[in-house]
Chain A
Amino acid sequence: DIQLTQSPSFQSASVGDRVTITCRASQGISSYLAWYQQKPGKAPKLLIYAASTLQSGVPSRFSGSRSGTEFTLTISSLQPEDFATYYCQQVDSYPWTFGQGTKVDI
């Protein structure tokens, strides 16, 4: 199985901060990676797919990039509604796997 290692597990930040979350795959997954945002008690929301494509309706302050097997989610200017947990997921091969999550908190 492909392992995804997310870092950090917890990120303390303030409104207006630039936040970067990293997801490293244990083997090559091309660009078959998605990023999700999840708020407590809610379903995850797709933010980015194919490593860098912004899902329709997602604010442009969110962006994704890839360098080899390392993927990055960047929030350029954190807004109050962005405090949540973020997950990366690979869809390159079965079983689909997730990173352990990054909680972005005040």
Chain B
Amino acid sequence: EVLLVESGGGLVQSGRSLRLSCTASGFTFGDDAMSWFRQAPGKGLEWVGFIRSKGFGGTPEYAASVKGRFTISRDDSKSIAYLQMNSVKTADTAVYFCTRVFLDDSGGYYPFDWGQGTLVTVSS
């Protein structure tokens, strides 16, 4: 059974840092890309960023709203993906989800396994 468990959320002051972890099990973590999404209270879904598998360079992509402040990384030996959040803002308050992403035959990346999410609250 595939499991993705996010941790590290909580209350943080504006301008400070927080690191979220996504611990994976039930699949060969190093073979898959991973992505982070978020959902502000009562709002829709927003993509945060993505990291390719090492086989495809291990490179990240970011949403403009977090680029330069957030960093996605991965430790394939531990089956963990990270979201380092620096200089957080009140607008970053949301539930953060990590996802496993598969690459289909046409070259599209699709998030298909999701964690349960972890709440990050940024206070002013």
Chain A residues within 8 Å of B, Cβ to Cβ: 1, 30-32, 34, 36, 38, 42-46, 49-50, 53, 55, 87, 89, 91-92, 94-101
Contacts and interface: CB of A to CB of B under 8 A. Distances in A.
A32 B89 CA distance: 32
Interface string B33-47: 000000000001111
Contact of B112 (A42, A55, A97): A55
A103 to B, nearest CB: 11
Interface in B57-101: 61-64, 97
B47 A97 contact: yes
A100 B108 contact: no
A94 B50 CA distance: 10
A53 B106 CA distance: 12
Contacts, number: 59
6 contacts: A32-B106, A36-B45, A46-B112, A49-B112, A50-B104, A101-B45
Contacts of A45: 114
Say whether chain A's binding surface is mostly helix, strand, loop, or mixed. Answer: loop
B106 A46 contact: no
Contacts of A89: 45, 47
B110 A94 contact: no
A97 B47 CA distance: 7
A47 B18 CA distance: 32
B46 A98 contact: yes
B117 A43 contact: yes
A50 B104 CA distance: 8
Contact of B44 (A31, A49, A100): A100
Contacts of B62: 95
B45 A44 contact: yes
Nearest to B66: A95
B9 to A, nearest CB: 14
B30 interface: no
Contacts of A92: 108
Nearest to A97: B47
